[in-house]
A and B are shown apart, each in its own frame.
Chain A
Amino acid sequence: MAPLAALMLAGCAASLRTSPSPEISTRPSSASPNAPTPELPPEVPRPAPAPREFRLSPATQSLVAQAHTLQGRGDLPGASSTLDRALRIEPSNPLLWIELGRIRLVEGDAHQAEVCGRKALALASSDQRALSGAGHLLADALRTQGRNQEASEVESRW
């Protein structure tokens, strides 16, 4: 089932590629004497990484809940180091970077919140929920810094 799903995705990816972006020339003109014509139909299947859907494990979920409780009590350093713990368990989970960025915003560190948002965006891959959470965080962080136009651009993308 999984390989089939991957192939299905590959198919989708290929069929979606209608307008190749023109700005990247992949080889210097002199370099490749036998360069084939790029007009070949886009039939070559592509490596298709399994789609990711990020969620929290029971361990990190409990730590996030604990961080929220601490934050509710006004213990921001406690909330922050509790999220640290969670990130040590799942360092590549964009949802945790979003949580961390939210704490940074409350702490008044909009710059770090922005970086957390960007980091979460980079990690979110194609997970729409994570992308949108990261986008919102980033937009909020930008707006806090008075960068309203960038914020709106970000919001319109994610």
Chain B
Amino acid sequence: MIFAVFATVAVVAAAWIIHLDRVVTQQFQGRHWSVPAHVYAAPLELYAGAPISADDLEEELRRVHYRRGDPAGGPGLYRRVGNAFDIQTRRVRFIDEQRDAQLVSIHADASSVTSMRQIDGADLPVFRLDPPVIGSVFPIHGEDRLVLSPEEIPTLLRKGIKLIEDRRFDEHHGVDTLGVLRAVWVNLRAGRVVQGGSTLTQQLVKNYFLTDAQTFDRKATEAVMALRLEAHYSKDEILVAYLNEVFLGQDGERAIHGFGLGSEFYFAKPLGELDAGELALLIGLVKGPSYYDPRRHPDRALARRNLVLKGFADAHLIEANAAQRAAAAPLGLRPGGGSYVPAYIDLVRRHLKRDYAEADLAAAGLSVYTSLDPRAQAAAERALARDLQRLDAKAAARGGHLQGAVIVAEPNSGDVVAVVGGRETDTAGTFNRALDARRPIGSLVKPAVYLTALESGRYTAASLIEDAPIEMKLPDGSIWAPQNFEHNVNGSVTLAKALAESLNLATVKLGMDLGLSKVADTLQSLGLDSSTALNPSMLLGTVEMTPLEVVQVYTSLANGGFRARLRAVRAVVDEQGRPLRQFKVQVEPAAPPAAVYQLVRMLMLVPTHGTARAAAARLPRGLVIAGKTGTSSDTRDSWFAGFTGSYLSVVWVGYDDNRVTGLTGAAGALPVWADTMASLKPVSFEPIAPDSAEDRWIGFDDGLETTPACNPSAVVIGVPKNTVLARNPRCNPSQPPSVGDKIKSWFDRIVH
């Protein structure tokens, strides 16, 4: 009888152990070997004339972890003498080539690259730096982690973590009986729990397979699993997995797992660049990431770090005076705006999911090459944080926490170069407003109305329309009576002025004349995916869009009537360097180039004569831009969408709970837009008139063709070639001609 009971217990126990063994091997194996894809930002292209100053170049070299030194000494070293750089580049893989290490010499001045050559004197017309790593994704389950390979782990971390967390790691078999006994003894003497007996292996098992419940049952399971794990895998494999798995803190809703991500999260540096003090802080965090949170409890974190440093010195891992020096240093947390870009990675992940088969992405060692421009990303993050802080302070009475989103794109290629999903830029897993905040776009819709008008051939920018009170009976019987923002009425106005000043009444009149479905069609061909409800109020922007959708629509305008497919991912390349699939620049006709040219000429008047005049003060003098402000009803949403000659950017500012902000597009979003652009060394937007269009001067108010000499308020508009515009009668030849006119008439005489 007793034997039978024993036998049953033994069989059950054996079955249980076999079951746990299987769980351990299957899950650990799967997790352990799933190497994440490395994600790269776009490499910086250098060429004579590239707008990269000498200081920029040094910053970019540091971004890809080049160090000062004798470049002959090996790859990754550079020497800077004044504005001249000698660099030995690393062997590096791009989408289209594997480039060997090479020695190059680059000169730059205070604004741009002036010359480049190879050290042996050979020509070097164009050269790209290494693409910076911006993260790792498991493309399928979508976690982002910076998974470390064994050779990426600093020796001090290997030794230090064992010293602090599991001194007998190299001796035990997963469970440290001696350690447990010692912990029990220490705890008994202290009368409270001061030491845990968990080995690294047990902690790993706990993280991998188990919940947090502190039951005996769980303890036993943990112990058995730890023993089985040790039976199957080497100490080094377990240590590496532990360092990649351990929980190091909380970032909003997202858990920071692993030292690779921890290093980026707390210090914005790769693990290999951390000094002893920084490593000590991370190692110290393992004991209680929340209790020792260095941002919330810097005093506790500092004390803990210094205790770990003392441990390092006592165990002779570092010199005693080095430990003292490190202990005297501040925590050195990153100021924010580092290389960690969760909002952008979010878009990368969505594009991967959209464009690739899951099976393709399961391969190990993939490289994902993205369009991210780290400088644009940092500029947008900085501008949003700073301007929202200023706006919050101004609206202190409202007591809210303004939010915002910024996307920067290159309109010709469709490359999305920066995505900021909110003020708290290092927060992943939270609401990515750039991609997901669907809001009424207000007057950002108006260019679609005016483009429809220009396309119809019945209007030019000089045509006059009525800005007068409107009342409309809607299908539900209610009366709709829109108002201008200023509650004024302007009478007869040019299209150019109505758009620049964003006049609601004139726009509704125009839109109703064109037909709502025509305007909706225009929106769709510009790139809006969803359909639009055909209410008259759509003409004033009740249509809701995400910032990303607005980018798609405005790309077609900035791109002269061609819609470029937005892309965050340029290519995915497998371990052998073969492109899995490549995303070519893909362009489709969206609207007639001549009509778009006329519209864009009108959008250039918004910053000079219209609602975006405030931008100039924040931009380099004389910079030509085009764009449109947008404000939704009661100022709940503040928008600006616009472009320079370099980039297109869309900014949204508002409250998450949709409260009234009191901010127009010009007051809220425009400063963020302008500050972002200003720090990107923008070049002026230069619209190119297609062969079928030409420029004219008209009076901004009266629409009559004129000259700047005759009418100081003359503005340039685009019109179809050979359009006859009504002339300003005061600007006739009887008027004393200017010097230019004299030369011209002389020229005309000799030509005829």
Whether A and B are associated in the same complex: the answer reads yes
The answer to whether B84 has its CB under 8 Å from any CB of chain A is: no
Please indicate the chain A residues that have their CB under 8 angstroms from the CB of B724 in the complex.
20, 24, 26, 38
Q: How far is the CA of A89 from the CA of B745 in the complex (A)?
A: 41
The answer to whether B47 has its CB under 8 Å from any CB of chain A is: yes
Known: A24-B723, A47-B716. Is A13-B694 also a contact (CB below 8 A)? yes
In this complex, the interface size class of chain B, counting residues with CB under 8 Å from chain A, is 35 or more
**Would you call B463 and A27 a contact (CB within 8 A)?**
yes
Known: A15-B751, A27-B464, A46-B694. Is A85-B45 also a contact (CB below 8 A)? yes
**Would you call A57 and B49 a contact (CB within 8 A)?**
yes
Q: How far is the CA of A40 from the CA of B734 in the complex (A)?
A: 12
B5-49 interface mask toward A, CB cutoff 8 Å, 1 = contact, 0 = none? 000000000000000000000000000000000000000010111
The answer to whether B492 has its CB under 8 Å from any CB of chain A is: yes
Q: How far is the CA of A4 from the CA of B744 in the complex (A)?
A: 9
Residues of A89-116 contacting chain B, CB below 8 A: 89, 91-92, 100, 112, 115-116
Q: How far is the CA of A40 from the CA of B725 in the complex (A)?
A: 10
**Would you call A43 and B732 a contact (CB within 8 A)?**
yes
The answer to whether A119 has its CB under 8 Å from any CB of chain B is: yes
Task: Give the distance to chain B from A56, nearest Cβ to Cβ, in Å.
Answer: 10
Please indicate the chain B residues that have their CB under 8 angstroms from the CB of A8 in the complex.
747
**Would you call A25 and B96 a contact (CB within 8 A)?**
no
Residues of B427-467 contacting chain A, CB below 8 A: 457-460, 462-466
Please indicate the chain A residues that have their CB under 8 angstroms from the CB of B719 in the complex.
24, 26
Task: Give the distance to chain A from B501, nearest Cβ to Cβ, in Å.
Answer: 17
Q: How far is the CA of A43 from the CA of B719 in the complex (A)?
A: 18
Residues of A1-56 contacting chain B, CB below 8 A: 3-4, 7-8, 10-15, 17, 19-21, 23-28, 31-32, 35-36, 38, 40-41, 43-49, 52
Partner of A81, one of B95, B703, B731: B95
Task: Give the distance to chain A from B33, nearest Cβ to Cβ, in Å.
Answer: 29
Partner of A43, one of B691, B695, B733: B733
**Would you call A27 and B703 a contact (CB within 8 A)?**
yes
The answer to whether A145 has its CB under 8 Å from any CB of chain B is: no
Partner of A100, one of B459, B462, B585, B690: B585
Please indicate the chain B residues that have their CB under 8 angstroms from the CB of A61 in the complex.
125
B503-520 interface mask toward A, CB cutoff 8 Å, 1 = contact, 0 = none? 000000000000000000
The answer to whether A131 has its CB under 8 Å from any CB of chain B is: yes
**Would you call B740 and A24 a contact (CB within 8 A)?**
no
Q: How far is the CA of A70 from the CA of B579 in the complex (A)?
A: 15
Please indicate the chain A residues that have their CB under 8 angstroms from the CB of B587 in the complex.
112, 115-116, 119
Please indicate the chain A residues that have their CB under 8 angstroms from the CB of B464 in the complex.
27-28, 31-32
Closest-by-CB residue of A relative to B686 is A92
Q: Which 7 pairs of residues, A with B, have the shortest CB-CB distance? A: A59-B47, A91-B412, A31-B464, A122-B593, A62-B125, A59-B126, A47-B695
The answer to whether B560 has its CB under 8 Å from any CB of chain A is: yes
- 11 A-B pairs within 8 Å (CB atoms) are namely A26-B460, A27-B703, A27-B726, A36-B729, A41-B733, A45-B744, A58-B48, A81-B95, A119-B587, A121-B593, A123-B560
Known: A32-B726, A59-B125, A91-B410. Is A46-B695 also a contact (CB below 8 A)? yes
Residues of B394-413 contacting chain A, CB below 8 A: 410-413
Q: How far is the CA of A6 from the CA of B412 in the complex (A)?
A: 29
Known: A27-B463, A59-B48. Is A11-B744 also a contact (CB below 8 A)? yes
Q: How far is the CA of A91 from the CA of B411 in the complex (A)?
A: 9
The answer to whether B681 has its CB under 8 Å from any CB of chain A is: no
Q: How far is the CA of A112 from the CA of B564 in the complex (A)?
A: 11
Please indicate the chain B residues that have their CB under 8 angstroms from the CB of A154 in the complex.
none
Please indicate the chain B residues that have their CB under 8 angstroms from the CB of A35 in the complex.
726
The answer to whether B361 has its CB under 8 Å from any CB of chain A is: no
The answer to whether B135 has its CB under 8 Å from any CB of chain A is: no
Please indicate the chain A residues that have their CB under 8 angstroms from the CB of B411 in the complex.
91
Closest-by-CB residue of B relative to A38 is B724
In this complex, the interface size class of chain A, counting residues with CB under 8 Å from chain B, is 35 or more
Partner of A87, one of B49, B413, B727, B732: B413
The answer to whether B748 has its CB under 8 Å from any CB of chain A is: yes
Partner-contacting stretch, out of B99-107, B351-359, B633-641, B704-712 = B704-712
Q: How far is the CA of A58 from the CA of B492 in the complex (A)?
A: 52
Most buried by B among A47, A70, A124: A47
**Would you call B562 and A119 a contact (CB within 8 A)?**
yes
B71-92 interface mask toward A, CB cutoff 8 Å, 1 = contact, 0 = none? 0000000000000000000000
Partner of A21, one of B47, B49, B688, B720: B720
Please indicate the chain B residues that have their CB under 8 angstroms from the CB of A125 in the complex.
688-691
Known: A26-B724, A59-B48, A122-B688. Is A81-B733 also a contact (CB below 8 A)? no
The answer to whether A155 has its CB under 8 Å from any CB of chain B is: no
Q: How far is the CA of A45 from the CA of B721 in the complex (A)?
A: 15
**Would you call B582 and A77 a contact (CB within 8 A)?**
yes
Task: Give the distance to chain A from B89, nearest Cβ to Cβ, in Å.
Answer: 17
**Would you call B688 and A84 a contact (CB within 8 A)?**
no
Please indicate the chain A residues that have their CB under 8 angstroms from the CB of B45 in the complex.
59, 85, 88-89
The answer to whether B741 has its CB under 8 Å from any CB of chain A is: yes
Task: Give the distance to chain A from B652, nearest Cβ to Cβ, in Å.
Answer: 25
**Would you call A11 and B747 a contact (CB within 8 A)?**
yes
Partner of B727, one of A38, A48, A63, A100: A38
**Would you call B593 and A31 a contact (CB within 8 A)?**
no
Residues of B556-577 contacting chain A, CB below 8 A: 560-562, 570-571
Partner of B729, one of A7, A26, A40, A57: A40
Known: A26-B462, A27-B463, A88-B45. Is A77-B747 also a contact (CB below 8 A)? no
Please indicate the chain A residues that have their CB under 8 angstroms from the CB of B50 in the complex.
59, 89
Q: How far is the CA of A89 from the CA of B683 in the complex (A)?
A: 13
Q: How far is the CA of A75 from the CA of B161 in the complex (A)?
A: 49
**Would you call B560 and A122 a contact (CB within 8 A)?**
yes
Most buried by A among B45, B694, B705, B727: B727
5 more CB-based (< 8 A) A-B contacts, given A52-B688, A88-B45, A121-B593: A4-B743, A45-B741, A59-B48, A88-B413, A118-B562
Task: Give the distance to chain A from B180, nearest Cβ to Cβ, in Å.
Answer: 58
The answer to whether B120 has its CB under 8 Å from any CB of chain A is: no
